[in-house]
Amino acid sequence: MNNKTKSTLALLGTLFIGMVLGALITGVFVRSKMKQFHNLETRMKHHKRMFHHISEADSEQKAKIDEIFDKNFAKIDKIEEEFKAERKEATDMIAKEVETILNEDQKKKMWEGLEDFYKRRHRKKRK
């Protein structure tokens, strides 16, 4: 192999490694930021900051906005929990209907997959 080919391969290899590392690091960063959003307190802070920003509230108004959020944000959390329960119920209903057209092995795989999905999705309960 001549030097030009070696240089080209080294450059392409370095670019490929850089792309892979960039994608992995970005994925880890985004995942860690999104995990915080599963926490009710973090979401509430985010919503408060959003209302402060879009309303251009002064410090006195911000304090009142915070009080309103503290008083009412539990309602939003309750609605989200109810929605999750309804969505799971609907998914299970669909799965039971799909089950009628599957063979035994496929049924077993489907229910195991759904169970695994719910375990992964609800690994850590929000505070």
Taking only the tens place, the pLDDT of each residue in 12-40 is 999 999 999 988 888 887 777 666 666 77
Give dist(CA 40, CA 76) in Å, integer. 10
Lowest-pLDDT range, 10-19, 91-100, 116-125?
Answer: 116-125
| Average pLDDT for 79-108 | 91
Q: How far is CA 53 from the centre of its chain?
A: 24
| 35-57 pLDDT tens trace | 666 677 787 888 899 999 999 99
Question: How far apart, in Å, do the first and last CA atoms of the chain sit?
Answer: 61
The helix (H) or strand (E) run that includes residue 22 is helix 3-36
| pLDDT at 101 exceeding the cut of 50 | yes
The CA distance from 59 to 55, in Å, is: 12
Is residue 126 pLDDT above 60, yes or no? no
Closest to 48 (Cα-Cα) out of 71, 72, 69: 69
Q: Quick check: pTM over 0.75?
A: no
Residue 127 has a pLDDT of: 43
Single out the residue of 91, 84, 73, 67 nearest to residue 122, CA to CA: 84
What residues have CB less than 8 Å from 97, skipping those under 6 apart? Answer: none
Rounded distance, CA 100 to CA 106, Å?
11
